[in-house]
């Protein structure tokens, strides 16, 4: 992470700019399981915020709360000055929250371009009647938005696949198309659900570059859920560690790597305080 | 009062037939998550074969029944093996439609072989058999229907609870992947489910035939009434199917018995739709039926 | 950190795919038009009957495709909405009763009762929709099935509109004193009933097909397909599930109502048990055989399920004097029953799916493949787009 960005995030802490997203005391419970217990954190505008934790820690549940699929049993979430928890699922996109999917293959027959246009659903207006007539407002709307999506596809390197069905693409490209689709919304907050899952080191670097580009050139705030430590520690501004639904640590990557609670969560009880400085979460790619 | 009891008794018997059909649906659904729209036509084919065996080939009733059972079980197994097995993982709509396809094929085949005119139903009882007490006539057919249904339920209960294959079926119904992991052969389970359901359908069909004195190709649509029954009871509850069937049967027959009194307000034939009205009511309040369980959806 | 990308195919094709985009489309249109004109001029009345039935059936198949094929809502209840449309048309357009025993009719023009049939059916759909669409999958299917039975019960018991169990006559479209069911002259040219109906049904089908096709290539259509493929994902992307399902339901009911009115008018005398489950299932068979989520698939499917038995009858393809009931209806049912199974097993896209596969094969052999496999671009430039972050 460059010096300027580090200075910026320090500076943004000292000036009290309200965070884009403030999560306070969120608890999610279903089927007798406490998926999240009293989780709180905040994300500054423009930041790259990562959420990590062992499997089952509640990361996806957190995303589901933020994208309004789940309703927490307790807590408050303020997004861009509004109470997020009052929104229904489809309204999250409308206020500028976009989310990529962890498991793909939900829309196998849709072409890449149509998928992006679907991402622009909340930015377009034609209904059934206007759509049926087509000539006039719908046609110009389609042209405008197609052009936008094609530019987006061009920038992300998928323009030549615009008419391919999503299901026919290799997994890595589907992930890429999914990110493009989320960007097509012109979001204020982008939730990336394991964007590097199933990728080799070269593809992971590409994704990291994309994520950084989104941050630095588009200024979109991002929350990243990931298992790939190298990726997370390399690019995140702030990292939140979840374990069994609880937030056990939050800080810069360096702080998290040295945090004994985090080490304990990942490696077990045997590694205590005294081992903390000799041991740290591995961040190199050789695994 | 005697009239009411007479109707209630007939309703229970009718309900038992719905329960049998519902059981067939439920077993297949629990084992393989398939809604077998063709269950009614299996019933139809079974009834026709039994009748043919008795009247055209002059077999006594029980061997004819056996023949019908064997035939429908074979049809059920063939369909499961050749068609359904290739449909695993396909969307609900497709699987529902493919069983509708089977329904169409079976019904049309029946019409083409036997014609569309009613065929007399084979019955081991005479029309007047049974006994009368307190002004209420308990027909032999109805008595046997209730008795056999109860016996089948007991047998199935024992099967599911205490036998190896029954346990395997319950395991498969709960979690297919886990069942596979412990070495249960899912294909055998599916085959077993379809075989049992086909056999139960035939038995139900034979009772229904005896009750109606004649069978015609529209018989299969009676099986559709089993849908309200299983929705009432919960589609993945075997005991629910039985309870639902009997409740629906009783309500339907009672309605039929008393509807002439309200004919000027409600018109004719409301007993044919009361099961569906009940079903809609149930779905409004408890979309998963009285005993069914909600399924979680993963994103 | 920004480097410009050199993408090889910098074809920023912002034009939506056009209906008549290239030479081959125009050629196909020309040939089609020629075929229609030849048919129109030379076909016999019997053939017109076959084709006219197919045209109306295609409208209903389109209706079902909108709801089930594109939006994924299982419906076995299209005959109910067709009936609503038919009885609306009867009420508005039927001949006024001369005795209290005859069913009602206001004698209005077809220019009123055809659209009204659609509108009333759509209104009924709007009423039922919020409750029905809360259910999913099999449960929705069963409720729509129940709708058919409840509908039949209702229709039998309102003889004032439906004529009760004996049924009633339905209005004939007419321009003033010139009803379509007899030969009429216009500008010195004689038009047979078949031809007049053909023009009417063809025009309605054309408008319906264009409308539905347009909807499906615009925002609403994408939302429908998203709802079909993965509801929760669609909602996360901003699709209002309720609105989308209701929209599809209402559009579907509208078209079904019109189709019902046209069916009843063409058959001219219909009893309430015409609108039964078998009819609804025939349309489901039509969308499967023809191809779900496809306008052409709807037309092909209708041709197959409704046109074919009549063709078989016309050519007397069936041996006479067979035992049992080998009618064309039964044979056709057997065929489309088997086809449902075969298509769902091997080609869920129906006939249109087969056509598309065929087209892909041709494209593979005929010109250089533009798909370049899956290497991602190494370097990317995401310069801010004008207006990117200008949003309320």
Q: Map C272-311 to HEC letters.
A: HHHCCHHHHHHHHHHHHHHCCCCHHHHHHHHHHHHHHHHH
The answer, for A1 touching chain C at a CB cutoff of 8 Å, is no
Task: Return the residue of B nearest to C146 by Cα.
Answer: B276
Task: Return the residue of B nearest to A100 by Cα.
Answer: B299
Q: Which chains share 3+ C-beta pairs under 8 angstroms with B?
A: A, C
The answer, for B284 touching chain A at a CB cutoff of 8 Å, is no
A225, A226, A244 from A55: Cα distances, Å = 11, 10, 9
C156·B279 Cβ contact <8 A: no
Q: How far is B49 from chain C (nearest CA, A)?
A: 15
Report field, pTM of the whole predicted structure over 0.80: yes
Instruction: Scan for tokens 């991402």, then name that residue.
Output: A119
Q: How far is A280 from chain C (nearest CA, A)?
A: 30
| Nearest-angstrom CA–CA distance, A284 and B3 | 85
Instruction: Scan for tokens 């089952």, then name that residue.
Output: A56
Q: Which chains share 3+ C-beta pairs under 8 angstroms with A?
A: B, C
The answer, for A203 touching chain C at a CB cutoff of 8 Å, is yes
Query: Which residues are bridge partners to A49 per DSSP?
Result: A223, A238
**Coil, strand or helix at A98:** strand
Q: Which chains share 3+ C-beta pairs under 8 angstroms with C?
A: A, B
B299·A69 Cβ contact <8 A: yes
A150·C14 Cβ contact <8 A: yes
Residue B55 confidence (pLDDT) above 90: no
**Coil, strand or helix at A253:** helix
Tell me if B9 sits within 8 A of B138, measured CB to CB.
Answer: yes
| Nearest-angstrom CA–CA distance, C79 and C60 | 9
Task: Give φ, ψ of C57 to 5 degrees.
Answer: -60, -35
Mean pLDDT of B142-158: 88
Tell me if C58 sits within 8 A of C202, measured CB to CB.
Answer: no
| Nearest-angstrom CA–CA distance, A95 and A98 | 9
The answer, for C157 touching chain B at a CB cutoff of 8 Å, is yes
List of chain B residues whose C-beta atoms are within 8 Å of the C-beta of residue A225 = none
A64·B296 Cβ contact <8 A: no
* pLDDT tens, chain A, 287 aa long: 556 666 655 555 556 788 999 999 999 998 788 889 999 999 999 999 999 988 778 898 999 999 999 999 999 999 999 999 999 999 999 999 999 998 888 999 999 999 999 999 999 999 999 999 999 999 999 999 999 999 999 988 899 999 999 999 998 899 999 999 999 999 999 999 999 888 888 888 888 998 999 999 889 999 999 888 888 888 999 999 998 889 999 999 999 888 888 877 776 655 444 444 454 555 554 44
pLDDT of residue A116: 96
C225·A131 Cβ contact <8 A: no
C232·A173 Cβ contact <8 A: no
Beta-carbon contacts of residue B33 (< 8 Å; ≥ 6 apart): none
Closest Cα to residue A189, out of A154, A150, A153, A224?
A224
| Nearest-angstrom CA–CA distance, A113 and A84 | 30
CB atoms within 10 A of CB A140: 10
Instruction: Scan for tokens 């109910």, then name that residue.
Output: C80
A121·C223 Cβ contact <8 A: yes
List of chain C residues whose C-beta atoms are within 8 Å of the C-beta of residue A91 = 238
pLDDT of residue C241: 95
Task: Please say whether the dihedral angle defined by the alpha carbons of residues C203, C209, C212 and C216, taken in this order, is positive or negative.
Answer: negative
Q: Pick from B101, B112, B268: which is nearest to C344 by CB? A: B101
Tell me if B294 sits within 8 A of B242, measured CB to CB.
Answer: no
Closest Cα to residue C144, out of C290, C279, C291?
C279
pLDDT of residue A15: 61
pLDDT of residue C232: 93
C139·B112 Cβ contact <8 A: no
B111, C8, C233, C236 from B297: Cα distances, Å = 43, 42, 12, 14
pLDDT of residue B39: 86
Kindly tell me the burial class for residue C185, based on how many C-beta atoms sit within 10 Å of its own C-beta (0-12, 13-18, 19 or more).
exposed
pLDDT of residue C9: 40
B73, B105, B144, B149, B162 from B155: Cα distances, Å = 18, 32, 16, 10, 10
The answer, for C267 touching chain B at a CB cutoff of 8 Å, is no
pLDDT of residue C113: 94
Closest Cα to residue B21, out of B166, B188, B192, B198?
B198
Higher per-residue pLDDT: B49 or A30: B49
C330·B108 Cβ contact <8 A: yes
Q: Pick out chain C residues at pLDDT < 70.
A: 1-15, 17-21, 317-326, 328, 367-392
Tell me if A241 sits within 8 A of A54, measured CB to CB.
Answer: no
pLDDT of residue C383: 38
List of chain A residues whose C-beta atoms are within 8 Å of the C-beta of residue C214 = 131-134, 138
Q: How many residues comprise chain A? A: 287
List of chain C residues whose C-beta atoms are within 8 Å of the C-beta of residue B91 = 72
A64·B299 Cβ contact <8 A: yes
User: What is the enclosing helix (H) or strand (E) of A143?
Assistant: helix A137-156
Q: List, for residues B124-142, the tens digit of each pLDDT value.
A: 777 667 777 777 778 888 8
| Nearest-angstrom CA–CA distance, B64 and B160 | 28
Tell me if C289 sits within 8 A of C154, measured CB to CB.
Answer: no
Which own/partner contact pairs does C360-367 have at CB distance under 8 Å and 24+ positions apart? none
A218·C241 Cβ contact <8 A: no
Q: How far is C88 from chain B (nearest CA, A)?
A: 21
Task: Return the residue of C nearest to B286 by Cα.
Answer: C135
Q: In chain A, which residues touch B (CB < 8 A)?
A: 30-31, 60, 64, 69, 101
| Nearest-angstrom CA–CA distance, B142 and A86 | 57
Task: Please say whether the dihedral angle defined by the alpha carbons of residues C284, C288, C290 and C294, taken in this order, is positive or negative.
Answer: positive
The answer, for B297 touching chain A at a CB cutoff of 8 Å, is no
CB atoms within 10 A of CB A202: 10
B296·A31 Cβ contact <8 A: yes
Beta-carbon contacts of residue C275 (< 8 Å; ≥ 6 apart): C79, C80, C82, C83, C86, C148, C151, C152, C155, C260
Tell me if C90 sits within 8 A of C117, measured CB to CB.
Answer: no
A30·B296 Cβ contact <8 A: yes
Q: How many CA atoms lie within 13 A of C67 on its CB side?
A: 33
Task: Please say whether the dihedral angle defined by the alpha carbons of residues A57, A60, A66 and A71, taken in this order, is positive or negative.
Answer: negative
Task: Return the residue of B nearest to C143 by Cα.
Answer: B280
**Coil, strand or helix at C111:** helix
The answer, for A132 touching chain C at a CB cutoff of 8 Å, is yes
ipTM: 0.88
DSSP for C183-251, written as a single string: -EEETTEEE-HHHHHHHHHHHHHHHHHHHHHHHHTSHHHHHHHHHHH-HHHHHHTT--HHHHHHHHHHH
Task: Return the residue of A nearest to C243 by Cα.
Answer: A127
State the pLDDT confidence band at B6, using cuts at 50, 70 and 90: confident
pLDDT of residue A143: 95
Q: How far is A102 from chain C (nearest CA, A)?
A: 11
CB atoms within 10 A of CB C8: 9
B92, B148, C12 from A109: Cα distances, Å = 17, 50, 23
| Nearest-angstrom CA–CA distance, C333 and C307 | 12
List of chain A residues whose C-beta atoms are within 8 Å of the C-beta of residue C11 = 159
Instruction: Scan for tokens 């061009």, then name that residue.
Output: A154
Tell me if B20 sits within 8 A of B241, measured CB to CB.
Answer: no
pLDDT of residue B231: 87
CB atoms within 10 A of CB A13: 10
Read off the tokens for A233.
């520690």
């Amino acid at each position: 992470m460059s010096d300027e960005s580090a200075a910026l995030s320090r500076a943004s802490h000292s000036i009290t700019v309200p965070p884009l997203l403030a999560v306070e005391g969120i608890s999610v419970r279903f089927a007798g399981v406490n998926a999240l217990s009293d989780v709180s954190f905040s994300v500054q505008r423009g930041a790259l915020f990562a959420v990590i934790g062992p499997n089952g820690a509640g990361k996806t549940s957190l995303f589901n709360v933020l994208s309004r699929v789940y309703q927490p049993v307790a807590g408050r979430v303020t997004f861009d000055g509004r109470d997020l928890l009052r929104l229904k699922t489809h309204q999250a996109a409308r206020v500028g929250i976009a989310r990529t999917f962890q498991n793909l293959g939900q829309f196998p027959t849709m072409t890449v371009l149509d998928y992006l246009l679907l991402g622009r659903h909340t930015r377009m207006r034609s209904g059934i009647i206007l759509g049926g007539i087509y000539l006039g407002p719908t046609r110009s709307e389609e042209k405008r938005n197609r052009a936008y999506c094609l530019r987006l596809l061009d920038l992300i390197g998928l323009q030549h696949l615009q008419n391919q069905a999503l299901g026919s693409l290799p997994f890595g490209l589907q992930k890429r198309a999914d990110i493009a689709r989320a960007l097509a919304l012109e979001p204020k907050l982008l939730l990336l659900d394991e964007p590097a899952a199933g990728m080799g080191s070269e593809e992971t670097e590409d994704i990291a570059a994309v994520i950084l580009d989104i941050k630095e050139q588009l200024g979109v705030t991002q929350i990243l859920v990931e298992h790939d430590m190298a990726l997370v520690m390399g690019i995140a501004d702030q990292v939140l560690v979840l374990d069994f639904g609880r937030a056990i640590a939050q800080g810069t990557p360096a702080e998290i790597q040295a945090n004994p609670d985090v080490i304990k969560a990942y490696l077990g009880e045997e590694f205590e305080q005294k081992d903390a400085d000799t041991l740290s979460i591995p961040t190199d790619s050789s695994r | 009062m005697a009239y009411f009891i007479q109707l209630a008794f007939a309703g229970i018997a009718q309900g038992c037939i719905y329960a049998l059909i519902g059981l067939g649906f439920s077993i297949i659904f629990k084992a393989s998550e398939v809604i077998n729209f063709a269950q009614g036509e299996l019933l139809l084919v079974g009834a026709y074969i039994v009748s043919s065996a008795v009247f055209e080939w002059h077999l006594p009733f029980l061997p004819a029944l056996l023949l019908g059972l064997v035939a429908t079980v074979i049809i059920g197994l063939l369909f499961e093996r050749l068609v359904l097995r290739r449909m695993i993982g396909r969307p609900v709509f497709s699987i529902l439609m493919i069983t509708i396809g089977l329904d169409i094929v079976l019904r049309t085949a029946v019409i083409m072989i036997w014609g569309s005119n009613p065929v007399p139903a084979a019955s081991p009882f005479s029309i007047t058999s049974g006994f009368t007490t307190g002004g209420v006539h308990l027909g032999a057919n109805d008595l046997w229907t209730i008795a056999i249904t109860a016996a089948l339920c007991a047998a199935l209960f024992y099967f599911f609870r205490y036998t190896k294959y029954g346990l395997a079926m319950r395991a498969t119904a709960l979690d297919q992947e886990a069942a596979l992991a412990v070495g249960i052969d899912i294909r055998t389970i599916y085959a077993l489910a379809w075989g049992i359901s086909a056999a139960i359908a035939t038995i139900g069909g034979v009772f229904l035939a005896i009750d109606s004195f004649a069978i015609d190709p529209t018989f299969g649509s009676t099986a559709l009434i089993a849908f309200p029954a299983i929705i009432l009871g919960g589609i993945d509850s075997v005991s629910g199917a039985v309870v639902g069937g009997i409740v629906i049967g009783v309500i339907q027959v009672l309605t039929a018995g008393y509807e002439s009194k309200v004919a000027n307000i409600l018109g004719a034939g409301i007993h044919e739709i009361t099961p569906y009205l009940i079903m809609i009511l149930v779905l409004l309040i408890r979309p998963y039926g009285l005993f069914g369980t909600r399924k979680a959806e993963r994103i | 950190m920004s480097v410009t990308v050199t993408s090889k195919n910098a074809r920023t094709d912002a034009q939506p795919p056009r209906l008549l985009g290239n030479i081959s489309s125009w050629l196909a249109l020309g040939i089609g038009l020629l075929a229609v004109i030849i048919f129109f001029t030379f076909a016999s009345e019997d053939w017109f009957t076959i084709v006219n039935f197919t045209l109306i059936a295609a409208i209903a198949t389109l209706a079902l495709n909108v709801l089930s094929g594109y939006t994924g809502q299982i419906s076995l209840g299209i005959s109910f909405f067709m009936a609503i449309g038919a009885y609306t048309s009867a009420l508005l357009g039927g001949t006024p009763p001369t005795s209290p025993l005859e069913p009602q009719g206001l004698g209005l023009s077809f220019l009123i009762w055809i659209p009204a049939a659609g509108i009333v059916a759509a209104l009924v759909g709007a009423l039922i929709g919020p409750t029905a669409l809360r259910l999913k999958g099999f449960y929705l299917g069963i409720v729509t099935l129940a709708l058919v039975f409840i509908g039949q019960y209702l229709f039998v018991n309102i003889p004032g509109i439906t004529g009760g169990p004996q049924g009633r006559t339905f209005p004939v479209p007419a321009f003033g004193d010139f009803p379509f069911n007899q030969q009429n002259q216009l500008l010195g040219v004689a038009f047979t009933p078949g031809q007049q109906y053909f023009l009417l049904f063809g025009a309605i089908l054309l408008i319906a097909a264009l409308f539905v096709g347009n909807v499906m290539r615009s925002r609403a259509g994408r939302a429908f397909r998203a709802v079909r493929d993965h509801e929760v994902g669609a909602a996360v992307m901003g699709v209002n599930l309720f609105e989308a399902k209701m929209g599809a339901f209402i559009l579907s009911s509208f078209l079904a109502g019109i189709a019902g009115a046209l069916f009843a008018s063409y058959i001219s005398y219909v009893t309430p048990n015409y609108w039964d489950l078998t009819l609804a299932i025939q349309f489901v068979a039509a969308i499967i055989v023809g191809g779900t989520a496809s306008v052409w698939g709807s037309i092909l499917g209708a041709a197959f399920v409704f046109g074919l038995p009549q063709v078989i009858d016309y050519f007397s393809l069936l041996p006479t004097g067979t035992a049992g009931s080998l009618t064309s209806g039964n044979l056709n049912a057997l065929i489309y029953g088997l086809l449902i199974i075969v298509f769902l097993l091997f080609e869920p896209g129906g006939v249109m799916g087969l056509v598309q596969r065929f087209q892909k094969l041709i494209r593979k052999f005929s010109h250089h493949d533009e798909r370049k496999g899956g290497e991602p671009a190494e370097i990317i430039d995401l310069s801010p787009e004008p207006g990117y972050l200008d949003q309320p």
